[in-house]
Amino acid sequence: MKRLLGLGSILTSSALIMTAAQPVLAQATRVTGVQVNQTDSGIQVLLQTEDGDRPQVFTIARGNALVSDIINTQLQLPEGNGFLQNNPAPGIASVSVTQLDSNSIRLTVTSTTADVPNGQVRQASNGIVFDFSGAGSPMAQTPAPAPAPAPMPQAQ
């Protein structure tokens, strides 16, 4: 009889430990606003987040678009379920933000040419800032190398 009680208490304590050890899922960052501002070199896209959270961003080039998947986020815009702005700056055809799945959003910046826009991401106090330039903008162009100085004539 004592053996059965011992086995039962082991099983009960194991079940309690398993229940207590459940992983805690982090709450998704809510993106509450999207702002697109024209800059000298292209555009700046600000994704406003609650408390200035910065989720993980994965960016890849697809055709003439730069696609950023932002995980552990939910799009909660006052305007609706997505954002689209066409022709925000020279060289940029469109900017869109959509809910990719229940826990990720996608920012897509499409170029007006076959070239992929250049982009950088950084943290701001009120969200995530993406700086993009189109193919014809100064940020996207590589400066030409300076010409080599002409050789000096040698004195004879």
Confidence (pLDDT) at 79: 85
Confidence (pLDDT) at 118: 87
| Amino acid, single-letter form, for residue 145 | P
- Computed on alpha carbons and rounded to an integer, the radius of gyration of the chain in Å comes to 26
Instruction: Give 16-58 pLDDT, tens digit per residue.
Output: 444 444 444 568 889 999 999 999 888 999 999 887 677 889 9
Confidence (pLDDT) at 135: 55
pTM attached to this predicted model: 0.70
* H helix or E strand, kind and range, residue 66: strand 65-71
Confidence (pLDDT) at 3: 54
Write a three-state SS string for 26-76: CCCEEEEEEEEEEECCEEEEEEEEHHHCCCCEEEEEECCEEEEEEECEEEC
Confidence (pLDDT) at 35: 95
Residues in the chain, pLDDT under 50 = 11-24, 136-153
Give SS3 for 47: strand
